[in-house]
Amino acid sequence: MKADRWFKIVSALMLVVMLMSTMAGCAAAPTPAALPTATRPATLVAPQAPTPAPTATQAPAATQAPAAGAVKEGGKVMIAMWSPPNNFNAINTDSSYGYFNVGLIFDTLVTFDEKVNFVPRLAEKWEVSADNTTFTFHLNPKAKWHDGTPVTAADVEFTIWAITHPKIETNRGANVSTLKGLKGSKRPEGVDSVEGVKVVDERTVQFITKNPVDPLFLLELIGTGVWIIPKHILKDVPPEQFSKADFWMKPTVGTGPFKFVKYETGQFVEYVRNDDYYRGKPRLDKLIVSIVTPATMVAQLEKGEVDISAGGGIGDIPLDDWERVKSLPNVKAYSYQDNGYQYMIINGDPTKAWADKRVRQALAYAINRQLIVDKLLKGQGVVSQGPIIPVTSYYNPKIEGKYPYDVEKAKALLKEANWDANKEYALLVPTGNIVRELSADIIQANLAAAGVKVKIEKMDFPTMMARFGKGEFDLGLVGWGGVLDPDVRSQYQTGGQYNFGKFSSKVLDDLLEKGANTADTAERKKIYDEFQEQFLEEMPIVPLYWPLRLVAINKRVNNASHMITTNALLRNVHEWWVSDGK
């Protein structure tokens, strides 16, 4: 398979999250390649990291079993996030702020449980063909739209039809580009159906892929990454006007646990309980998503004006306020590992000073990454060993502890590589992320102690990216995040769209291509285990740290907890209840 086809699958999602993390600011046995079903879901993520992430306190269990008669019906919960959604377009809202709200109104085919296993949502069960090219989803017969209309396979087909229409604007294209009959993520002009989508009957729909794919990959990208939209409401909207339809500002018909009531621009979004929700009548009467600033979030949590910080990069507790929040008697404060990490990019031009891998390895030994976590993140982070998310089942625990802080080892490697300690190099640092800016000072001092002189050049993010594009840099500090799947070719394969350092290694290229083109999950796990070991041998970047998300939940709120990915907080929102019933 051509590599560029696979790049498109994850690159769009990853770029959005990467940009957010850059400007703003844990392993299990491999899953058997069996048919993932509702009764035996495929495990994407292990319940715990190989190195447990530090937490302020134990996170509340999302599925805790209350004592008989303890559950109270009614009341409302206020969730705080930093910025407003620009619209509620399920296939084209422009940020995680928008998709957080979309996740309350609309449902996906599958979702994650608290152990990040795939579990039913609109689809009550699913099967995968022996050749990993046909994925059959059976819809829950109780699922209805908010106006009482049944949810059918035609709605699923229509959703993919809209995403793949040449004239409809969408950012979900990367999620469906594996489907048969698409050129990139769109249908050819004049083709009015998607070859890779087949309506079997009213409650059954099939996805057929161009080539065999790992079931976990499709379950994540399409199963959890595409919200199903109502055909009976939107089928007559002209494609050219689809993204601007009035419905996307007042989406009164969805399938989710709560119904949209109103949006006071820049202030709050109000939702009311969907009594007919197919997964069970929600216990809360109302849910409010409140738009607050980081500066006021803590005060509002203290006063009980908001109940939950949204987390996930859209509503985290500021690090400077963390100790104060942990001391509040009315909230439960805790931290969790998400899917973004920080790293030092290295210019991969073979004519540059970093061409010898011993030099790149020396950089990793020279930087006291644990100090950055302990001092700048106040312990709320995990030292990074590479780009594969530590809490996923694809993570290789054998790489833990590689490259400890060792100045003498760094000096020895540099000496072997005939390093010229008299030359000075530039470390580019984008402004805006205070922890990153402060980490630059530590890195500069660490490298100097090992015999590598660097000067810090601060600039805005676009300017730094332009420098990367022109190859006019030595080192730089950036952040990245994205989907949980381990296909990182867009970053680390030769010619990858986001391989900003222009690094090239045949060993890594071959492993990444093999991993992307292997459909069997267990075999894929072995490939990515080897990739991670070779990654640390080649050291195309210096991985720094995975910052933890800092969040808080009012103690009156039961059954709610955060976990990896922005929308996962809402995975069981219909089961939330408040102890005071208010």
More confident residue, 285 or 65: 285
Compute the distance between CA of residue 284 and CA of residue 273 in angstroms, rounded to an integer. 7
Provide CATH code, domain 103-232.
3.90.76.10
pLDDT at 33 over 70: no
**Which CATH number does the domain 340-548 belong to among 3.10.105.10, 3.40.30.10, 1.20.58.110, 2.40.340.10?**
3.10.105.10
How do residues 106-130 score in pLDDT, each as one tens digit?
999 999 898 889 999 999 999 999 9
- Inter-residue contact 407 to 449 (CB < 8 Å): yes
- Inter-residue contact 326 to 333 (CB < 8 Å): yes
How do residues 121-179 score in pLDDT, each as one tens digit?
999 999 999 999 999 999 999 999 999 999 999 999 999 999 999 999 999 998 999 99
pLDDT at 353 over 80: yes
pLDDT more than 70, % of the chain: 88
Closest CA to 100 of 301, 284, 309: 309
Kindly list the domain boundaries of the chain, sorted by start residue.
103-232, 340-548
More confident residue, 508 or 9: 508
Compute the distance between CA of residue 80 and CA of residue 353 in angstroms, rounded to an integer. 47
Q: Please provide residue 3's backbone torsions phi and psi, each rounded to the nearest 5 degrees.
A: -65, -35
How do residues 38-67 score in pLDDT, each as one tens digit?
322 333 333 223 333 333 344 555 544 444
pLDDT at residue number 59: 53
- Inter-residue contact 241 to 234 (CB < 8 Å): no
- Inter-residue contact 391 to 116 (CB < 8 Å): yes
What is the mean predicted confidence (pLDDT) over 7-18?
Answer: 35
C-alpha distances (whole Å) from 310 to each of 118, 210, 215, 567 are: 22, 37, 30, 9
Q: Which residues contact 322 (CB under 8 A, 6 or more apart)?
A: 56, 333, 378, 380, 550
pLDDT at residue number 7: 33
Closest CA to 345 of 497, 481, 532, 471: 471
**pLDDT band with cut points at 50, 70 and 90 for residue 405:** very high
Q: Which residues contact 56 (CB under 8 A, 6 or more apart)?
A: 322, 326, 333, 334, 335, 380, 550
pLDDT mean across residues, the chain: 88
* Side-chain-side CA neighbours of residue 463 (13 Å): 8
Q: Which pair of structure tokens corresponds to residue 439?
A: 């980490």
* Side-chain-side CA neighbours of residue 100 (13 Å): 28
pTM score, whole prediction: 0.81
